Amino acid sequence: MDSSTWLKILGYIITPITAFVVGVTYGGIVRVITARVQNRFGPPITQNFWDIIKLYSKKTAVHHGLMQHWGPVFAITASVTSLFFIPVLKDSPLWLNNSFNGDIIFLLYMMVFGSLGMALGAGQTGNPNSAIGVARGLALMVGYEVPFVLALVAIMIQFKTTSIAELMAVQDGFSNWLIFQSPFAFIAAILAFLGMMHYAPFDVTFAPAEIASGPASEFGGKYLALMQTSGSIFTFAKLVLFTDIFLGGAGDLVTLIVKTFLLYMIPVLTGIVNPRYRTEQAITFFWKWPTVFGIIAILIVVL
């Protein structure tokens, strides 16, 4: 095997590990920020690592059937596969992985794969709260998908491409970032992003105080550990996708981390200061102003 093949294999290994480390660290930072806003001290930033390590080392594991047993596997498959099809760093063979073999439309569907597997797993537990959470989550998805797709369509028809790599290529200078080239698309997409990240006011799916964490409530031990791993990787994947599409991507890891962190703070800070919507309010929220912004974005491109 020549060096490029080895580089590729190395890429497949370090990309998910980086995503995991960054995702979990972000999770820890969010806990600290939330605590400070609520006038608490909060756990150390590394707390989420210890939580996951503890869960992985738990001996007993309880499940209600094969579908629940495999639910977290579906989740990790979806998050790692999605990550592999997103160019993490610009022009670096180590971080490109499979990004030239799929496109945005593929990613939209790939991302649902994990939610569906999780939903099936949660469904098998027989816990009514899980089922309620799933019904809410799927309904919410129809809500935020509308502005999100409007924004993506606006961008795709503007540059006549559905490939993320090509979208990154057109944003070669600071002023060419899509956030400045098509601001309305960005507004629509970032509002959809609030729903996608499941922070308040759109945390109807997991709503701990209301439906006892909903879909996740019956998962413990290795299952919860795998789910949290997958969740961290998925968070990072979504952040990188948004950075690639709207913020011009990144040439090195430091830039990537700065950009994704700033992006991540939008849903987190919104979440800290907001109460929770009712599900139908959360859905219809996305069909009002965010959709209007999305339509404006398309009209600007067309006219």
**Residues 104 to 143: which contact another protein by CB under 8 A?**
105-106, 109-110, 112-113, 116, 119-120, 123-129, 131-132, 134-136, 138-139, 141-143
In the window 3-62, what residues touch another protein (CB under 8 A)?
58-62
* Residue 277 DSSP symbol: P
Q: How many chain residues touch another protein (CB under 8 A)?
A: 78
By CB under 8 A, name the one of 28, 72, 195, 214 that touches another protein.
72
Count of CB atoms within 10 A of residue 220's CB? Answer: 15
Count of CB atoms within 10 A of residue 12's CB? Answer: 13
Q: Are 122 and 207 in contact (CB under 8 A)?
A: no
Give Cα 56 to chain centroid, integer Å. 23
249 scored as a contact of another protein (CB under 8 A):
no
Nearest distance from residue 7's CB to another protein, in Å?
17
276 scored as a contact of another protein (CB under 8 A):
no
Nearest distance from residue 230's CB to another protein, in Å?
9
For the chain, the residue count is 303
Name which of 110 and 263 has its Cβ closer to another protein. 110
Count of CB atoms within 10 A of residue 57's CB? Answer: 10
Rounded CA-CA distance 131/160 in Å is 40
**Two structure tokens written together for 179:** 């956030």
Nearest distance from residue 48's CB to another protein, in Å?
20
63 scored as a contact of another protein (CB under 8 A):
yes
CA-nearest of 239, 245, 240, 246 to 88 is 240
In the window 202-231, what residues touch another protein (CB under 8 A)?
204, 212, 217-218, 221-223, 226
Nearest distance from residue 219's CB to another protein, in Å?
10
CA-nearest of 234, 241, 106 to 167 is 241
By CB under 8 A, name the one of 19, 22, 52, 76 that touches another protein.
76
Name which of 28 and 71 has its Cβ closer to another protein. 71
Name which of 40 and 58 has its Cβ closer to another protein. 58
By CB under 8 A, name the one of 7, 45, 70, 253 that touches another protein.
70
In the window 148-167, what residues touch another protein (CB under 8 A)?
149-150, 153-154, 156-157, 160-163
- Cα 202 to Cα 69, 185, 226, 286: the distances in Å are 28, 20, 24, 10
- Cα 22 to Cα 28, 34, 153, 210, 236: the distances in Å are 10, 18, 30, 30, 7
Name which of 116 and 265 has its Cβ closer to another protein. 116
Name which of 33 and 139 has its Cβ closer to another protein. 139
